[in-house]
Amino acid sequence: MADGEHISLSRDEMARPEWLPTEIWTDILSHLPDRDRLSLRACSRGMEHAISLTDFQADYNYCRLAGYPDKLMLRLSKWIRMKTDYSEEGLDKLLHMRKRLFRRVFSIAMTISGVNFNIVSAEYVNCLLEDTKFGELTLIIHAREYNHDILDVLQKPARYTVRVIFKGFMPDRKLLTDLHPMRILKIDQTATPLDHDVFLTLVKNRHRSFAVSCVAFDSTQTVLDAVKSVALNSESQKVSIVVQWSTICEFLTLIGFERTERIIHYRFFDRHVSTFIKTSEHELIFELRIYSHSDPKYGFELKNDNVIVKFSPVKLYSDDYSLIIENKLATLDVTYEN
């Protein structure tokens, strides 16, 4: 029986299981293996219809829409694994079965990976995910799979928090700047640098975690502007960028450090930080991580394979890698007062 229908039935009429309310069948099915859902729908027309109206709690360990060279797979549990080729008939069949097995799908998480949006339209994916509620949707997309229309999948209002990972390429500027705040936005393994103005826009758009492997900085002022923007955010925010050591040095100078000698003078460093200083003589790659005020790691840190150096304006870190620059980070403190 559909939601909202209230039909008074006699005891004999109620004797038919198809007439049990939908939410009761959802409850009964929640105690059964997924295979029993399939068996039940084969019992009678009424049961097939009743099952199609129920909700389904998907197993997030398996919950995935995955694209392969010759097929598309929607997997929602250990047993329910629907695969089709990319023919119109095959895609229609997948959509049909999705609608006949359950009405709504719930899961803690769902991953979409390997789906070529130039073959499978964003509109189709949205139809497939209609009436679904995920705690978190992760979309992993490579260059050949990319189509600007993925925005339609990512921007479904309030359906879930979204993690999107662009792998090996730089998406177009418009898509990036149009994105609503994401749980994670990651642009990974790309040799094409992100323009400095887009970078700053994305920082200001306050994606909760934003990581990019390559930025074309026009000046270290952009880095400082990013640090200030994050620092001003009262929500949790993390920005991670891969930068050259020369950029780091310029940035540190910009906020008042006098290069490495001054740092040594401040802290009587242990060998870990000495390594940091020593390697700084070369053009090395560092990851600069910036954390907002509400993050326990508030401040920013520099990381490579050997060392992490933390810069915190408020907390005195006691571990060996910490570096507290009370005076120099006053620059950032002034920023908060603005």
Partner 1 sequence: RIYPLMRVTLTTSDGASVTVSRQLTKHSGFIEKAITDMAVDDNAVPLSAVAVDVDDATLKLVIEWLTEHRDDALPYPEKTDEERRADDIPAWDQAFVQKWDTKEDQQQTLYAVITAADKLDIKGLLDMTCKTLANKINGKTVEEMREILQLECDFTEEELAEIRKENAWCEN
Where along the sequence are the contacts to partner 1 (CB under 8 A)?
Answer: 8, 11-12, 14-17, 19-21, 23-24, 27-33, 35-36, 38-48, 57, 79-83, 93, 97, 100-101
Of 79 and 321, nearer to partner 1 (C-beta) is: 79
Task: List alpha helices for 268-318, DSSP H.
Answer: 271-279
Separation CA 155–CA 59 (nearest Å): 24
Strands 184-188 and 238-244: unpaired
| Smallest separation, CB 282 to partner 1 (Å) | 52
Of 68 and 336, nearer to partner 1 (C-beta) is: 68
Of 80 and 248, nearer to partner 1 (C-beta) is: 80
Residue 266's Cβ-count burial label (10 Å; 0-12, 13-18, 19+) is: middle
| Smallest separation, CB 67 to partner 1 (Å) | 17
Of 48 and 136, nearer to partner 1 (C-beta) is: 48
Of 90 and 168, nearer to partner 1 (C-beta) is: 90
By the 8 A CB rule, do 23 and 53 touch?
Answer: no
Smallest Cα–Cα separation from 49: which of 76, 74, 20, 81? 20
Q: What b/e readout covers 196-215, taking b as 16+ CB neighbours within 10 angstroms?
A: bebbbebbebbbbbbbbbbb
By the 8 A CB rule, do 127 and 96 touch?
Answer: no
| Smallest separation, CB 159 to partner 1 (Å) | 19
Separation CA 210–CA 181 (nearest Å): 10
Smallest Cα–Cα separation from 226: which of 289, 313, 310, 314? 289
Of 73 and 214, nearer to partner 1 (C-beta) is: 73
Of 40 and 215, nearer to partner 1 (C-beta) is: 40
Residue owning tokens 């887009």: 198
| Smallest separation, CB 15 to partner 1 (Å) | 4
Q: E strands within 292-338?
A: 299-303, 308-311, 322-323
Task: List alpha helices for the chain, DSSP H.
Answer: 11-14, 22-30, 34-41, 45-52, 88-101, 122-128, 150-154, 173-178, 196-204, 220-232, 245-254, 259-267, 271-279, 330-337
| Smallest separation, CB 208 to partner 1 (Å) | 25
Of 82 and 151, nearer to partner 1 (C-beta) is: 82
Q: How many residues would you count in the chain?
A: 338
